[in-house]
Structures are given as structure tokens and as C-alpha cells.
Chain A
Amino acid sequence: MITRPAHEMAAAMDSGEITSVELTQAHLDRISEVDAQVHAFLHVDTEGALTQAKAVDDARARGEKVGPLAGVPLALKDVIVQNGIPTTAGSKILEGWRPPYDATVVTKMKNAGIVILGKTNMDEFAMGSSTENSAYGPTHNPWDLTRIPGGSGGGSSASLAAFQAPLAIGTDTGGSIRQPAAVTGTVGVKPTYGGVSRYGLIAFSSSLDQAGPCARTVLDAALLHEVIAGHDVHDATSIDAPVPQVVHAARNGDVKGMKIGVVKELNGDGYQAGVRSRFEESLELLAKAGAEIVEVSCPNFEYALAAYYLIAPSECSSNLARFDAMRYGIRIGDADGASAESVMNLTREVGFGREVKRRIILGTYALSSGYFDAYYGSAQKVRTLIMQDFNNAFTHADVLVSPTCPTTAFKIGEKANDPLAMYLNDIATIPVNMAGIGGMSLPCGLAPEDGLPVGFQVMAPAMQDQRMYSVGAALEASLLTQWGAPLLSQIPALAVAK
């Protein structure tokens, strides 16, 4: 049962084939069997999950109408607060903190009867592309435990690939949902900025952060998308408009007559051969399904990475200022006679990891008087140019596509001491965040040279998220026909600890 898609689990509960308590327990068992190797979870809420599951079973037993994902377990990225549940954002500085409130997405999921299994590992404060920056140790890619599961949401995507959870929530600031999905052979969606509330999402870069669904199928992602999306009065940047009809699009998977634009700048040099070949084959499948493939150019994308590494650190330098040992989290050096300033300094010194400090320093510098215009100001102009590139491209195509990442999963440790190489991994995902539009990654096969998953990225205009699901579902269906079984059926079995 645990290898099936979430919507099939829900159907099995509706038909009485299984209860949510049984399903939840099966996932909790799986977590205890394999998580010593994968390390996808920072916290498992056994009791809370079973209580939630029981409540859903009772509701079903009473004949109440429940949501389409009621009773299905889910793994929550540790950057999202859940009332009373330890939440660290992968940082030592928040060790032991139990938030006093629920994020809006958590409230929505609870209301929908989704069972939250626990909190998943991540790069500290979502800064990273490998989950190696977690203060609590790296997560391992279930396809190859010596490799990274992507980041920052490596725990969420690994939990899906390891069958520890059929659904997960991720957050995506520069690719933190899509890149982990790509390298683990799962589906991840960054909705349009403002499509899902950020209330309760511990901010890394407020103008770029967006929570979204992670799943093993496009339809499951769509079902979860509709649960968590929608306007929220607690988030001033959330969009007050109807949620795009993503489930409808995912069920139909219709691309006939759709124009699919291949972004010239997000392919070619620097992209691994196996990534390119799987991507090209996918384009052919989409063409066979009735789409028209066109090439588009986005000349300013080459500046996206540089601009991103000014905007995101600038915002994070301010967002992370609140971690000062005064109100929550760890407190270091609080001895008699110590000043607030020295406690603050020591706590931040001990509590933040290297990458977080690097970005705080970078951002503080970029915002400094005398440098602001040259750095932050210029980066915002680049952002406008990237939006213009997208706007222009979307006059030629309904959606844009590219490989999600230039390469398949790299080895743990391989890029840990080379931040620039690490940053380059997000080259194809960052423009989407800069423009505030939607992006999806879905698996399109294994690279022949290393046998590792390759991600196919679909990008849609703001609030046209349903188009990604149309394309994603169409491609997924064609690939399934070709493969005969989901890609994850090829994943090597994990040793099961008893």
C-alpha cells in the first residue's frame, strides 16, 4: 500500500479496504525501518499522527463527507511551523523551539484531514541545494545513499522516494521544491507566488519563498495543491483570486494544440548529456500527444543567478535578524554580567551554520549605504528584465519547459566546499522565483550514464498553474505507457532495519 499514489490510498480508505490508522502506522513503521539510512525526518510525531488518523477514520465511519486526501499521511518540511511540534528550519539556533501557532497551510491540511507524520530535514533556513547544510546532518538520496537528495527540501523529496510518505510539503525560494524532486524522481510544484499563504513559513527570502506540494504523481500534487492554496488574510502578498483548476487539469492531461516553448538558454552547455537526452525524448512525447514545440529565448536569464544571490541574501540578512536569543531558540553565554549584545553574538555565532552566515554577511553588505544601488538596486532591475523575458516568451508559448537541473544527483560532499558550483545547480529553477510564476518538476527518466533520475521542468504564467498540470499529466501518462510502471519502481530496495 505504501508505494501507491496518495489518491489511491484515499480511495482505499473510502472503500473500507484500509483505515487511516493502519495506513499511518504502515508509514510510521517504514520510517523507523529506513530513516536511519535516509535521514529524511528531523521529528516524527507518532502520537499526533495516529490521533489525527483516528479522527479521520471516525469521521468516515460516521459517514461524514471528507476531503479527497483525508487520512493520507504527509511529511512537512521543517521550515513550516506546526503548533506544539518542534520546528527548527534545519538550524541549531531553533533547537527545542515549539511554535505556539499553526502555519496557514498546516491549518488547511488539518481541516482537510491530512495526517502530518512529522518534520523533514532541510538545508538550514532553506539555504542550499543538497540538504548538507542542515545542522542535523545530511539526508541521503534513496536512489543512491552516497548522493544528495537535493535541497533545500531534500528531506521531503527523499521521504517520498523512500515510501516514508506519499505526500510532502516543500518550500521553494530558488528551486528547493523542484530540484529535490528532480534528483529523487518525484513531482514537486512551486505555485505562483502568492498562490499559497506564507503565514507560518519561516522566511528565507520573503519575495521569493513559496510553499508547494510534493508527491509521486502529478494528480497527487494537484490534489494537495488545491488543499493548501487560496487567499489568506494573514499574508498580505497572497493573491485574492480563485485557485487555478489544477486537479481538473491533472485529470485531463490534455496538451492538444498547446504551444510548449523550449527555453534556449536553459539547455545546452553545462547540461549533462543524459539530462539533455531524456529532456529531448520528453519533448517528442509531448509533440506526439498533440502539443506544438517551439523555441523561445530569454536573454536575461544569464543574469538571474547573480541577481538572485543579491536579493535572497539581502532579504535573509533582515529576516534572520530576529534570531537573537531573546524570545525563542537557544541562548548561549547567558552568564551573570553578560550583556544582551554578547549573548546575541555568541548565540548567532554558535546557532548559525557557515552557509547561513555567508549569506547574512553577503546580504548585509549588499544593503549597506553606498552599495545598495549597485547591488540590491541593480538586482531588482534584473528581476524586472527577467519578468519581461517571461512575458515576452509567454506571447509565443502557453508554457515554457527546460531540464529542472543541469545534472543528476551529485555525491554528498562533492560540492560542499564550492558554494559557486552548488549555486549553479539552481540555474534553471531560479528565474521562476524571480518572476513569481509557477514551476513544476516531474521525472522524465534515468540518465543513461549514471542511472539517476532526471527532472523535466514546466513553467506557466502567474495564476495559470493549471497549465503545468496539463503538461505534467500528459507527459507522465506518455512516459508511464513507455515504461510500463512508475519510475520509482526501479529504485533500489533499501535495507530494512527491524
Chain B
Amino acid sequence: MGRTSAFTDSSIGGGKVSLTYEDVIAKYEPVLGLEVHVELNTHSKMFCGCSTIFGGEPNTQTCPVCLGMPGALPVVNEKAIESSILIGLALNCSIAPFSRFSRKNYFYPDMPKNFQISQYDEPICVNGYLDVEIDTDEGVKKFRVEIERVHMEEDTGKSLHVGGATGRIHGADYSLLDYNRAGIPLVEIVTKIVPGTGKYAPEVAKAYVAELRDILRSLGVSDVRMEQGSLRCDANVSLRLIGAQTLGTRSETKNVNSLRSVERAVRGEMIRHAELLNRGERVVQETRHFQEESGLTRSGRSKEQAEDYRYFPEPDLVPVAPDAAWIETLRATLPEQPTLRRKRLQAEWSVPDKEMAAMINADALDIVESTVKLGADPTRARGWWLGEISRIANEQNVTIADLKITPTDVAEIVALVLQGDLTDKLARQVVEGVIAGEGTPASVIESRGLKVVSDESALMAAIERAIAAQPETAEKIRNGHIPAAGALIGAVMKETKGQADAARVRELLLGHLGQSVD
């Protein structure tokens, strides 16, 4: 890690730019706490049958229940319970035999009932952990992040503040409310405090959220799109003098919408806290908002006078009491943990670290694995997906998964190349045809006439014509000047429109001219 420039905080009057990250960690120990909100990808909302599809016209995905109409009652979405249990199991939690929903009471116009149904003192999953690894100058380091709880709640609607400069309610001319999001199932995953990360705190925070995201994706319970808000992270940070036992005052940074921002937010808050503490000031316990452009946080509401949410058990719902057999059924369906899977695949496929990283970054692991499972050689499968196919995807500005080519197609193409039915050059044309929607590899080969010319008598005839056309070249070869073969092979390939196997042409040519094949 290089030297990091220091941050100042305009909202507390601006301090001198004086501290480096190294200064901070030389004196203080950071303590983390991470709260991740995940929107589940159930088809219907947490407590009613309304659709959860993102991006609908405002207030078109609502009903008396999620609008909080008088008389309407919530009914728990069974699928959301199942997803929550899966998350808990994947995070090594105990699943509560009996958990309850409570009401969190506060007034806000985008919350239709003016209370949020949430789990409070009896969450569905408790006491788990997630191991994360980070690469450091001192090698790979492993950290265990302990999970305090996983609980379910409903999302609120959205307010759109119109007029005013900031898009915030303050200064707005009026506000519009969209309740499509109201009642979308949310799961909140809360860690215990995470001490002992030292200077790696920002990276550990990022690695935790990344690993969590991968797990949630592998479980298939959420779209985990940070940019759309389906995965949101609140980062709690506090500092204490190295060796101190008591915890420092924490700030809670919200609105952290990318993995990179998680790391930046933690680092920025560490420096901000250290500057305050070094000046003898105190850290205010408050909510702060991360600002993507500047990497700074802005003061939100103070939590010193904690709001009283008057929690009490939600009387409209019965307790959640999943039976043990169901939990075990769900446990049996858990996919392999993403980290372990990556390690296994890397070993099985003998992929160098750098290329493994490229594959993960390209989000190509699943698709390559499927291709390999269909019989393709791992190196070739990876080569196609990260090479030609990625290139076309980039051109079209889509992901490889969006293209019309499937693992089955790629496995078939790899097999045809291995059998000598396609050359690499022809295979690229087949890939292009499949992506263009011309059908399966077989039908593209058929319609475009891409089959390798493997009729040896036809090849020999072409070779003899080439020799006849360039007798001097042929003579050179006969005299042992093998590199001259290139010109004749080229002529044959040209005559066969590239559909001959160049290696075979070379073999036949050299044999014909009395030279051994090297």
C-alpha cells in the first residue's frame, strides 16, 4: 500500500492536511463493524403478492398491503424465509428455531405504515462467521469476520425530492413518493465488531463485502447489484490507541455503493477520526454519507440522541418456526463456498494466478466451468471465453453471458478443432456466426461452408498445382531449404479458401518433396 493522501472534512470546519495513513496506523487500531443490506430476488414482496421487478413505472407495483391501506394485513413470503435461512447457513450461523418480527416505529412519508416490519431481538440467524483472505506484501492473510445476526425486514419506498440544489429534502420544492420498493424483502447481515485487522482494515472490509456478495450470488438469493442498491453496505469505524481496551466512538458511513468505495470509506474515516483525536477533539457518534466523487463522508443525522423506535412484537404475524428437517434439506442444497471453489478450479485447471484473476474479473468462472463440464479442455475453454468471445462482448458493450453463444456451443467448437474438423481460424468464424444468431455451430458450419478440406486427394491435387506454379520454390525444398515451404502452403491454403488444415498440408507437401517432417 502506498502513501495515501489525507482527507479533510468540510462539514466539521476543515482541519489541516497533516496525517498520512501510515501516521494513523502507527498510533491507532481501527475496529470495524459492517452492516450489509441485501434485497432478495423473490418474485413477490415480503408481505404481499406485488412484483419486485426493478425499474417499473412509479406506484405500479403496489396493493393495499404494501401501501399500508387501513385494514390490510401482512403475510410472510415463505421464499424470503428460505433465502434468509440459506444465507444464515452459508455464513455458518445457527438458525433460530423460533424467531419473530417486530415493528420499528418512526414517521417518514416513504414508509406507508409509518412502521417498518423488521426482526429485532429475535432474528432468524445468529452467531456465524465468514473467513476472508487478502493479498498483502507479507503474503496471503486470513481474517475471520464474526457474524452477529442475519435478519429479515421490508424495504421502504423511495422519495424523489424535486427542486432545490441537492436532491435532498432540505430546500426541495416538493417531493414525490414511489412505493414500488416498499415491502421488497431485505436481509440485513450484521457483523460483530471486527478488531485485529490493523492496517488492513480497509482491505478486510472490502474483501468481506466481496466474499459476501459472491456467496449471495452463488446462493441465487439476490441480484447483488451494488450500483442498483440491491446490496448496500454501512461501514462502522472507530479508532482506539494501540493497546487500549475500550472502544472508541464510531461513525456509521452509509451510501457505500461499490467494493472500491467500501475500502475508500473505511480508510477515509480512519484518517478523519485520527485527525480529530490528534487535535484533542472527539468523534461524534453519527451517520455519515459517503460521496463517491470526493471519497469523503458528509455528516448525516447525529445518533447521540438515539431515536426511540418503540419496537414491539408485530401482532399481525405469527412467529417464524422453521422445522429442523426443512433446515437440513436447505443445508444439503448449499453450493460450494466461492473461495473454496475458486481454489479447487484453479488447481484442477492449472491456471496461473493472474489468469485466474482475469477470469474472476470477467465473471467467466461459471461459464468456463460449464464448458469444461461438457468435455472441453479447460485451457481451450478459457481461451475462447476470455479471448474471442470477450472481444466481441466488449465490442457490443455486453457481458459474455448476454451473448447468444452457450457453453454447449463452445464445447462443441473445441471438440471440432481437436478432431481437426475446424482450424482455429474457421472456429473463430463459427463463433462469430453463433453469436450473430445463425444457429448452432453445426448449422453455421453447414450454411457458411466452413468444413476443413480433409479430402487428401483434393489436397494433393492442390499441392501439385502449387508446385507446378512455383517450380523454383519446390526445388529449394527438395534441396533441404525447408522454410521455403511456407510459400507453397500459403498457396494451397489460398486455393482451399483457408479451409484446409495447414499442418496437414505441410506434412503432405514435405513428404511429397522427399523431406521428413520435423
> A residues engaging B (CB < 8 A)?
80-81, 87, 89, 94, 97, 99-101, 103, 198-203, 205-207, 233-237, 314-315, 317-318, 321-324, 326-328, 340-341, 344, 364, 367-369, 372, 376
Contact = CB atoms under 8 A, between A and B. Distances in A.
Given A94-B70, A314-B312, A100 B64 contact: yes
Contact of B312 (A199, A236, A318, A327): A318
A94 B72 CA distance: 15
23 contacts: A81-B71, A87-B70, A100-B64, A199-B71, A199-B73, A200-B71, A206-B315, A207-B315, A235-B75, A236-B316, A236-B317, A236-B318, A315-B312, A317-B105, A317-B310, A318-B105, A321-B107, A321-B114, A324-B114, A326-B112, A327-B68, A340-B109, A372-B311
Interface of B: 64, 67-76, 103, 105, 107, 109, 112-115, 175, 177, 308, 310-312, 315-318
A367 B115 CA distance: 13
In the complex, which of the residues B109, B112, B310 has the most CB atoms of chain A within 10 Å of its own CB atom?
B310
Contact of A233 (B75, B112, B175, B316): B75
Nearest to A380: B313
Given A87-B70, A201-B71, A324-B109, A318 B318 contact: no
A58 B252 CA distance: 67
Contacts of A101: 64, 69, 72
B357 to A, nearest CB: 48
A130 B70 CA distance: 23
Contacts of B103: 318
B15 to A, nearest CB: 34
In the complex, which of the residues B72, B74, B115 has the most CB atoms of chain A within 10 Å of its own CB atom?
B72
Nearest to A101: B64
Contacts of B311: 367, 372
A436 to B, nearest CB: 11
B184 to A, nearest CB: 18
Interface of B is mostly: loop
A100 B310 CA distance: 30
Contacts of B73: 198-199, 234-236
A203 B105 contact: no
Contacts of B67: 327
In the complex, which of the residues B73, B316, B318 has the most CB atoms of chain A within 10 Å of its own CB atom?
B73
Nearest to B106: A321
Contacts of A198: 73
Given A315-B315, A322-B114, A368 B71 contact: no
Nearest to B177: A326
Given A203-B71, A236-B316, 17 more contacts: A81-B71, A89-B70, A97-B70, A99-B71, A201-B71, A202-B70, A236-B76, A237-B316, A237-B317, A315-B315, A317-B105, A318-B103, A318-B105, A321-B113, A322-B114, A326-B109, A372-B311
A369 B310 contact: yes
Contacts of A87: 70
Contacts of A201: 71
In the complex, which of the residues B107, B311, B315 has the most CB atoms of chain A within 10 Å of its own CB atom?
B315
Contacts of A202: 70-71
B101 to A, nearest CB: 10
